């Protein structure tokens, strides 16, 4: 009996303390950590079309089309198929592709999840966080020196 | 590390034999030696499997059949029985059984090790080796109507798998009423609130008591082994272990792959990375055990109860920490061969204090679970002395992890076959002697406390780590090509038990054979032992106490 | 409480509106039944889609329904529309009309029980439909019809889980109805009557006074042992945790109601909630002084509401914390524990009451 009482007392304590741990999403979105991996952002200005991201991608999510001069024509990424492993960002030598914190995306059909380079460029920063800042705190030491602002827009 | 067996803490039980002594013991049975990186390997004739295995089990003390790997070469088929000792898992031996290319038949080891039953069925299903004397050689992961064996070399992936409807087993078709029997056949699952995924239990009931129960698995088979075989060692395999046991045990799974591949390619991991790995892995273990507790309470309480939500809440807190560390809440992809991808998040102090806050809160919360669950008389009534799994039976089935430790067997790879930073830290292996559902729950709850202890020590270590020695990754070539025909089997202690990886390299940057030893697969096999003769509610409780993840069972 | 029992609700309607003859009485009875029935249904309407969610959420540290209307209250009409608009799926091979009747019988049996429950006064109206001399026996009889409905649902659904649920329901009701009624008999021995108003009146006496504050002779205070027994048996009778064996989600999916959907499901859900409230009402009448409470007599209905909602809260509290017992353990507790204790209680009560007399 004492065990039963203890159980019931425990739940009652939780009921009366009035605390809740769920939040009213979307009015109150939980914080994501700076390292969180969401939808990609792509910068054609930075990309050197080395195709390393396409090669490393474990499940062929990235498709790159080049002309016969090896100039980039298309950069397509199926964000519905992506497993958000961040390997593309990791191998990219110029930070042309990176994963924002943005996890809020919807579409009516699977096909709409295939983003081309324009759509990838227009993916908004989530709450204005620049993820590279936290992932590579000392990146200014090895990238972008003298380049000024990194422009993804 | 890979070639020399490590010193074991309690190797005094059965003296270790050198490979030569073993060869002498087996005598004429041995045709040749085919050593693996982790263990000596003996090639035997396909009709002497039982004899060899029973000699090794009875006389040399190799009582743990960890895994059966099957694969096809250009000129032969091969089954490998990876044997270990529960007393000292660093003592390993592989029994290699080649089978004829045209007619791959091999003797079954089921009579010696019960666990070989499912493993050999899987080998038959995916590779196509037939096992003589096997009690029930059917497909296990794929539908019975499947054509061909997907991991055999000549398998045509584009061949359509069309089976007419009548060819499928209809579970109610031969349902018949006769005057003799008064049992009832009941399908529990694949869609049932308590099967923790898509598991199908074919049960025969006498009243409410279970007479016979058979698990039908494979609904969540995602060709994980095949996917790993088509990925490169360096990068492309690592994201997938997260998806085997997807109950946030990701880092533990990643470690299984990392350990095998690092030993295969002879990569030394920096100590600093080992500490981070250890800390992250234990956080995952807490998250996984919290969910085990939550769902077990759900299975026994039966409704969306408070315990479930409280445990999920605690799990959220660990996941927040893991998100800060790895950037993801479930599918971490945090380990890399030779280390981890990131150092601790900046500012480090904030991460440390968050972690410490969590650790400080944990004892109070665990106390609450004890109040809520384990000290509850009705809960005790329901779980004590139900779902009994005697230690000998558990060993015979190759059960590992909390299931085995709940049966009183002191076996934990973190201590017995140390990896990472575990042997430098102060913690205990938890065992309970009850062998019942209650013991298994207690083991998990105490393991959470042990994990917290480990995390606490890791945090202290990391905090004091000299700044210029914080190497997170070893120097690993961009493309890994391990030597041709190296074979290795390595296991780690995942949340559910012994998670092992067998890799055979063929000189390319992708493994030629990648085999996963899933702890849930072996643990689930024990269900009939626990369930027969019990009531339906106890079957559900026993299933909950096994804490299986179908993603890992079916891979 | 007044010495003369207040006028029953149908009689009040006859007098107020001057309805003549037998026909007038029938019309008055129908009106009264309609009013009382709707009060009860309103309770369940609030309890099912809204209160239960809110209560569960409080126990589990969540927010729950909060978006539609103030405190999410408009979820009630929304849920009603949603549930009724769903397709009614009739599985192959169900045994009609058994399958169709079962969801009607369950709420009907529970609602019938309220015919004899004295629900207290609201202004000049005494919410009490009928006061037969065998009131207490009648209310148990009505409530027990529910198990027939569960068996019908279990048998008619052509589903093994439903069948198991139905059989469990019978086993459970048999095992707990007897202790329930035997314990209620001890109240009858105290009160000396089966009449509901008589039992309530008997509890209005003063047990003792503390500092000028009269503690009434509620049987829960007079015989707390019987109260606990009755409470436990009552929980089993209405099939709430830890005795929700006939439904047992996670074991037998949803028991007897596995195959029901849409409006039939709503009827079952409704029936279960009415049953909880009937259980609370019986408890209130037999052990908690009926509608009695401080304040003027004319608001005693509110006290009654407080009591049955209190019981509802209690069932939800148990649900949050207590695991379900196994079917064989349940039967064992019922026959070997509760039955023996309830008979001991009965004999003891009889001896004590007889001794005092």
Query: Are A34 and B345 within 8 A, CB to CB?
Result: yes
pLDDT classification of B416: cutoffs 50, 70, 90: confident
Is the reported ipTM for this assembly greater than 0.90? no
Closest CB to A58: pick one of B231, B346, B371: B231
Closest residue in A to B333 (Cα–Cα): A85
Quick: pLDDT tens for B22-35: 777 777 788 888 88
Closest residue in A to C318 (Cα–Cα): A8
pLDDT tens string for chain C (357 positions)?
344 456 777 777 777 777 777 888 888 888 888 888 888 888 888 888 888 888 888 888 888 888 888 888 888 888 888 888 888 888 888 888 888 888 989 889 888 888 888 888 887 777 787 888 888 888 888 888 888 888 888 888 888 888 888 888 888 888 888 888 888 888 888 888 888 888 888 777 777 777 667 777 787 777 888 888 888 888 888 877 788 877 777 788 888 888 888 888 888 888 888 988 998 888 888 888 777 777 777 778 888 888 889 999 998 888 888 888 888 888 888 888 888 988 888 888 888 877 776
pLDDT classification of B502: cutoffs 50, 70, 90: very high
Quick: pLDDT tens for B523-541: 999 998 888 888 888 888 8
pLDDT classification of B304: cutoffs 50, 70, 90: low
Does residue B139 contact residue B118 with C-beta atoms inside 8 Å? Answer: no
Query: Using CA atoms in the order B294, C56, A22, B441, what is the torsion angle rounded to 10 degrees?
Result: -10
- B308 contacts on A by Cβ (under 8 Å): none
Phi, psi angle pair for A62, to nearest 5°: -100, 135
Query: Are B327 and A36 within 8 A, CB to CB?
Result: yes
Closest residue in B to C323 (Cα–Cα): B301
pLDDT classification of B175: cutoffs 50, 70, 90: low
- Residue A21 contacts B where some CB pair is shorter than 8 Å: yes
What is the number of H-type helices and E-type strands within chain C?
Answer: 14, 4
- B300 contacts on C by Cβ (under 8 Å): 323-324
Closest CB to B328: pick one of A6, A10, A84: A84
Amino acid A122: pLDDT: 78
Ranges A90-99, A129-138, B299-308, B441-450: which has the least confidence: A129-138
pLDDT classification of B306: cutoffs 50, 70, 90: confident
Is 60 exceeded by the pLDDT of residue B21? yes
Amino acid B466: pLDDT: 86
Closest residue in C to A9 (Cα–Cα): C321
Closest approach of C149 to chain A, Cα-based (Å): 32
pTM: 0.86
Closest residue in A to B375 (Cα–Cα): A3
Taking residues B55-67, what's their average pLDDT?
A: 86
Q: Which residue has the tokens 């039976």?
A: B393
- B191 contacts on C by Cβ (under 8 Å): none
Query: Are C164 and B536 within 8 A, CB to CB?
Result: yes
pLDDT classification of B8: cutoffs 50, 70, 90: very low
Phi, psi angle pair for B81, to nearest 5°: -100, 115
Query: Are B536 and C329 within 8 A, CB to CB?
Result: no
Closest approach of A90 to chain B, Cα-based (Å): 9
pLDDT classification of B1: cutoffs 50, 70, 90: very low
pLDDT classification of A76: cutoffs 50, 70, 90: confident
Closest CB to B327: pick one of A2, A3, A86: A86
List the subunits that have 3+ CB pairs under 8 angstroms with C. Answer: A, B
- A4 contacts on B by Cβ (under 8 Å): 376-378
Task: For chains A and C, count residue pairs whose Cβ atoms are closer than 8 Å.
Answer: 38
Strands (E), B306-454: 335-336, 339-340
pLDDT classification of B443: cutoffs 50, 70, 90: very high
Quick: pLDDT tens for B321-372: 998 888 888 888 888 888 888 888 878 888 899 999 999 989 888 988 888 8
Closest approach of A127 to chain C, Cα-based (Å): 25
Closest approach of B212 to chain C, Cα-based (Å): 17
List the subunits that have 3+ CB pairs under 8 angstroms with A. Answer: B, C
- Residue A24 contacts C where some CB pair is shorter than 8 Å: yes
Closest approach of C27 to chain B, Cα-based (Å): 44
Closest approach of A25 to chain B, Cα-based (Å): 16
- Strand-pairing partners, residue B335, are B340
- A10 contacts on C by Cβ (under 8 Å): 321
Query: Are C323 and B192 within 8 A, CB to CB?
Result: no
CA angle C145, C148, C150 (to 5 degrees): 115
What does DSSP say about strands B335-336 and B339-340: parallel, antiparallel, or unpaired?
A: antiparallel
Closest residue in A to B364 (Cα–Cα): A10
Amino acid B448: pLDDT: 92
Q: Distance between CA atoms of B52 and B84, rounded to whole angstroms? A: 14
Closest approach of A19 to chain C, Cα-based (Å): 6
Cβ contacts of residue C207 below 8 Å, gap of 6+? C215, C216, C217, C218, C221, C222
Exposed / middle / buried, residue B4 (Cβ in 10 Å: 0-12, 13-18, 19+): exposed
Q: Distance between CA atoms of B472 and B478, rounded to whole angstroms? A: 16
Closest approach of B107 to chain C, Cα-based (Å): 40
Q: Which of C154, C326, C331, C336 to mutate to test the interface with B (most CBs of B within 10 A)?
A: C326
Residues in chain A: 153
Tokens of residue B278, six digits: 């250890």
- Residue C318 contacts A where some CB pair is shorter than 8 Å: yes
- B197 contacts on C by Cβ (under 8 Å): none
Does residue B320 contact residue B416 with C-beta atoms inside 8 Å? Answer: no
pLDDT classification of B455: cutoffs 50, 70, 90: very high
Taking residues B459-485, what's their average pLDDT?
A: 84
Phi, psi angle pair for A102, to nearest 5°: -70, 115
Phi, psi angle pair for C141, to nearest 5°: -60, -45
């Amino acid at each position: 009996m004492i065990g039963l009482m203890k159980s019931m007392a425990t739940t009652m304590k939780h009921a009366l303390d009035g605390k809740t741990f769920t939040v009213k999403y979307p009015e109150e979105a939980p914080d994501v950590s700076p390292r969180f991996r969401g939808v990609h952002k792509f910068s054609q200005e930075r990309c050197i079309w080395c195709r390393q991201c396409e090669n490393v991608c474990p499940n062929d999510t990235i498709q790159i089309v080049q002309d016969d001069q090896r100039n980039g024509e298309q950069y397509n990424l199926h964000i519905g198929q992506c497993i958000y492993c961040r390997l593309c960002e990791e191998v990219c030598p110029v930070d042309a592709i990176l994963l924002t914190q943005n996890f809020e995306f919807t579409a009516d059909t699977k096909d709409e999840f295939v983003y081309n380079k324009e759509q990838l460029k227009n993916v908004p920063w989530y709450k204005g966080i620049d993820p590279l800042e936290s992932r590579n705190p000392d990146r200014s030491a090895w990238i972008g020196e003298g380049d000024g602002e990194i422009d993804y827009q | 590390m890979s070639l020399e067996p490590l010193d074991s803490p309690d190797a005094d039980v059965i003296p270790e034999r050198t490979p030569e002594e073993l060869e002498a013991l087996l005598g004429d049975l041995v045709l040749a030696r085919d050593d693996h990186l982790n263990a000596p390997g003996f090639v035997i004739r396909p009709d002497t499997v039982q004899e060899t295995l029973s000699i090794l089990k009875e006389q040399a003390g190799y009582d743990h059949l960890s895994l059966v790997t099957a694969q096809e070469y250009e000129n032969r088929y091969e089954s490998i029985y990876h044997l270990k000792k529960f007393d000292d898992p660093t003592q390993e031996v592989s029994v290699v059984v080649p089978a004829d290319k045209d007619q791959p038949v091999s003797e079954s080891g089921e009579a010696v090790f019960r666990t070989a039953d499912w493993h050999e069925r899987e080998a038959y299903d995916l590779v196509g080796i037939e096992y003589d004397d096997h009690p029930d050689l059917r497909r296990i992961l794929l539908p019975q109507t499947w054509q061909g064996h997907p991991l055999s070399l000549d398998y045509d992936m584009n061949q359509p798998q069309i089976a007419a409807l009548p060819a499928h087993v209809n579970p109610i078709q031969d349902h018949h009423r006769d005057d003799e029997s008064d049992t009832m056949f009941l399908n529990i699952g694949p869609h049932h609130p308590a099967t923790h995924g898509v598991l199908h239990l074919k049960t025969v009931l006498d009243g409410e008591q279970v007479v016979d129960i058979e698990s039908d698995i494979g609904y969540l088979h995602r060709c994980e082994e095949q996917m790993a075989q088509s990925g490169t060692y360096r990068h492309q395999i690592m994201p997938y272990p997260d998806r085997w046991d997807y109950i946030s045990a990701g880092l533990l799974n990643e470690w299984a792959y990392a350990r095998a591949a690092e030993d295969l390619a002879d990569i030394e991991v920096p100590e600093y990375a080992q500490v981070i790995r250890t800390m992250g892995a234990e956080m995952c273990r807490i998250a996984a055990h919290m969910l085990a507790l939550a769902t077990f309470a759900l299975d026994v309480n039966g409704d969306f109860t408070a315990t479930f939500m409280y445990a999920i809440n605690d799990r959220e807190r660990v996941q927040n920490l893991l998100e800060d560390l790895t950037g993801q809440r479930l599918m971490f992809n945090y380990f890399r061969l030779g280390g981890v991808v990131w150092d601790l998040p900046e500012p480090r102090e904030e991460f440390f204090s968050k972690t410490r806050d969590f650790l400080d809160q944990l004892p109070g919360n665990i106390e609450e679970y004890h109040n809520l669950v384990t000290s509850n008389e009705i809960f005790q009534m329901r779980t004590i002395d139900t779902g009994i799994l005697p230690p000998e039976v558990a060993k015979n089935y190759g059960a590992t992890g909390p299931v085995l430790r709940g049966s009183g067997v002191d076996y934990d790879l973190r201590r017995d076959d140390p990896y990472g930073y575990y042997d430098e830290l102060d913690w205990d292996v938890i065992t309970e002697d009850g062998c019942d559902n209650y013991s298994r729950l207690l083991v998990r709850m105490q393991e959470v406390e042990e994990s917290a202890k480990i995390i606490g020590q890791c945090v202290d270590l990391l905090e004091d780590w000299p700044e210029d020695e914080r190497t997170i990754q070893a120097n690993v070539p961009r493309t890994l090509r391990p030597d041709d025909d190296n074979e290795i089997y390595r296991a780690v202690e995942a949340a559910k038990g012994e998670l092992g990886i067998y890799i055979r390299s063929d000189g390319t940057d992708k493994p030629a054979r990648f085999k996963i030893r899933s702890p849930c697969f072996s643990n689930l096999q024990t269900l009939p032992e626990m369930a027969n003769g019990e009531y339906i509610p106890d079957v559900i409780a026993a299933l909950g106490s096994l804490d299986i993840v179908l993603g890992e069972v079916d891979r | 409480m007044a010495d003369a029992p207040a006028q029953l609700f149908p009689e009040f309607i006859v007098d107020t509106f001057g309805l003549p003859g037998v026909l007038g009485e029938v019309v008055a009875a129908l009106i009264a039944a309609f009013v009382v029935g709707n009060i009860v249904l309103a309770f369940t309407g609030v309890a099912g889609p809204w209160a239960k969610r809110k209560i569960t959420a409080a126990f589990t540290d969540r927010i729950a329904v909060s978006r539609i209307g103030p405190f999410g209250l408009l979820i009630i009409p929304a849920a009603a529309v949603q549930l009724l608009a769903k397709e009614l799926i009739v599985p192959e091979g169900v045994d009609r009309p058994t399958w169709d009747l079962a969801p009607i019988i369950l709420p009907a049996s529970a609602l019938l029980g309220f015919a004899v429950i004295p629900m207290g006064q609201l202004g000049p109206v005494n919410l009490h439909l009928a006061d037969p001399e065998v009131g207490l026996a009648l209310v148990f009889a009505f409530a027990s019809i529910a198990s027939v409905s569960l068996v019908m649902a279990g048998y008619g659904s052509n589903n093994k889980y439903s069948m198991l649920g139905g059989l469990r329901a019978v086993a459970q009701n048999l095992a707990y109805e007897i202790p329930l009624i035997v314990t209620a008999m001890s109240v009858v021995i105290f009160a000396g009557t089966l009449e509901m108003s008589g039992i309530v009146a008997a509890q209005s006496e003063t047990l003792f006074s503390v500092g000028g504050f009269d503690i009434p002779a509620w049987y829960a205070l007079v015989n707390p042992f019987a109260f606990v027994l009755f409470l436990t048996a009552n929980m089993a009778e209405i099939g709430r945790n830890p005795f929700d064996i006939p439904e047992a989600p996670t074991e037998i999916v949803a028991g007897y109601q596995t195959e029901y959907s849409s409006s039939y499901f709503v009827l079952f859900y409704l029936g279960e909630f009415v049953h909880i409230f009937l259980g609370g009402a019986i408890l209130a009448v037999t052990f908690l002084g009926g509608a009695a409470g401080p304040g003027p007599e004319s608001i005693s209905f509110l006290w009654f509401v407080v009591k049955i909602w209190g019981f509802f809260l209690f069932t939800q509290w148990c649900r949050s914390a207590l695991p379900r017992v196994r079917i064989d353990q349940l039967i064992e507790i019922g026959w070997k524990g509760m039955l023996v204790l309830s008979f001991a209680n009965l004999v003891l009560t009889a001896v004590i009451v007889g001794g005092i007399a």
